[in-house]
């Protein structure tokens, strides 16, 4: 069974640009969550999607947005990039049949903002 | 201003010894806890979980202990191997917050030959 797939693996952008990251969950998983990982702040929750609906959102500005498609694939978008957005963006999927459930993470997209 | 990174606690152990990694969690309402292992260039990998109605759970070579009184979690790795070298994170999920994990800052485990 294939794991969580994130594309692209690496991305370089400049300030003010926007970026879209993609995540394909494990087959059959309906929940997709996004996390940001930086040396300064560690791992922080961005948002969670289930059945194309955002169910939970972390404490990030509105420049960070996401969506989920009917096949459970998800994208996140960051507009008007800032230097501080440089981070590893991780996607995690789960079956979402119970409240507390194992999350399986992808290898992430390393975003560098110059 | 200068950006200061998180100071990761480090733990170095000899191959074959047991490792104990500690974590203090913040939310007394958390009822589900997970340990993740993250190797360089990879995403976090699930190791073991425990619910708040338990105080100990064992897996293959790993044991998690939960002390709710002092909000402390520990991960014990038996017979540590070179492949165990990684950053280890504890994560908590408060009751009712679905799959929103709150991660600790992590511990860098280095296994010495």
Two structure tokens written together for B83: 């492949």
User: Could you tell me if B7 lies within 8 Å of chain A, comparing CB atoms?
Assistant: no
In chain A, what residues touch B97 (CB-CB under 8 Å)?
A: 56
In sequence order, the 6+-apart residues with CB closer than 8 A to the CB of B91 are A43, B33, B34, B35, B36, B101, B102, B103, B104
For the stretch B72-89, pLDDT in tens is: 999 999 999 999 999 999
Q: What is the mean pLDDT of residues A53-65?
A: 94
Cβ pairs A/B, distance under 8 A:
72
Cross-chain residue pair B6–A35, CB shorter than 8 Å? no
Whether A36 contacts A105, CB under 8 Å:
no
What is residue B3's predicted lDDT score, i.e. its pLDDT? 35
**CA neighbor of A89 nearest in space, from A63, A109, A69, A71:** A109
User: For residues B38 and A16, what is the distance between their CA atoms, to the nearest angstrom?
Assistant: 31
Distance of alpha carbon A2 from alpha carbon B43, whole angstroms: 15
Question: What pLDDT, on the 0 to 100 scale, is given for residue A102?
Answer: 83
Which range has the worst mean pLDDT, A41-50, A74-83, B57-66, B95-104? B95-104
- Computed over every residue of chain B, the mean pLDDT equals 89
Residues of chain A neighbouring B34 (CB-CB closer than 8 A)? 102-103
**Cα–Cα distance for residue pair A25/A79, rounded to 1 Å:** 23
Mean pLDDT value across residues B18-31: 91
Cα-based distances in Å from A80 to A15, A72, A77:
7, 26, 10
Three-class secondary structure assignment of B50-104: EECCCCEEECCCEEEEEECCCCEEEEEECCCCHHHCEEEEEEEEECCCCCCCEEC
Question: Is the model's pLDDT at B18 over the cut of 70?
Answer: yes
Is the pLDDT at B6 greater than 90, yes or no? no
* Mean pLDDT, range A81-96, rounded to an integer: 94
Q: What residues of A are in contact with residue B100 (Cβ under 8 Å)?
A: 33, 45, 48, 56, 58
- Is the pLDDT at A70 greater than 90, yes or no? yes
| Torsional sign, CA A80, A84, A86, A91 | negative
For the record, the structure tokens of B17 come out as 């010894």
Q: Is A40 on the interface with B (CB under 8 A)?
A: yes
pLDDT for position A52: 93
A110's enclosing H/E stretch is strand A109-113
pLDDT band, very low/low/confident/very high, at B4 (cuts 50, 70, 90): very low
In whole numbers, what is the pLDDT of chain A averaged over residues?
Answer: 93
List, as one string, the DSSP characters of A56-81. Answer: EE-S--TTEEEEE-TTS-EEEEE-S-
Residue among B3, B98, B108 at smallest CA distance from A87? B3
Q: How far is A89 from chain B (nearest CA, A)?
A: 9
């Amino acid at each position: 069974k294939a794991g969580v797939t994130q594309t692209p693996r690496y991305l370089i952008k400049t300030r003010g640009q926007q970026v879209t990251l993609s995540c394909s969950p494990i087959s059959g998983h309906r929940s997709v969550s996004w996390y940001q990982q930086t040396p300064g702040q560690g791992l922080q929750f961005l948002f969670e999607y289930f059945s194309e609906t955002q169910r939970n959102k972390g404490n990030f500005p509105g420049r960070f947005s996401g969506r989920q498609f009917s096949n459970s694939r998800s994208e996140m978008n960051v507009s008007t990039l800032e230097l501080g957005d440089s981070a590893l963006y991780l996607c995690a999927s789960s079956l979402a049949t119970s409240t507390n459930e194992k999350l399986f993470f992808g290898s992430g997209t390393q975003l560098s903002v110059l | 201003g200068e950006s200061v990174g998180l100071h990761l606690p480090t733990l170095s152990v000899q191959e074959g010894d047991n490792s104990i990694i500690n974590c203090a969690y913040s939310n007394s309402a958390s009822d589900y806890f997970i340990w993740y292992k993250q190797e360089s260039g990879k995403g976090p990998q699930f190791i073991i979980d425990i619910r708040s109605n338990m105080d100990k759970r064992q897996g293959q070579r790993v044991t998690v202990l939960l002390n709710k009184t002092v909000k402390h979690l520990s991960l014990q790795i038996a017979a540590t191997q070179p492949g165990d070298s990684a950053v280890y994170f504890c994560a908590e999920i408060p009751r009712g917050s679905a799959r929103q994990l709150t991660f600790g800052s992590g511990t860098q485990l280095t296994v010495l030959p």
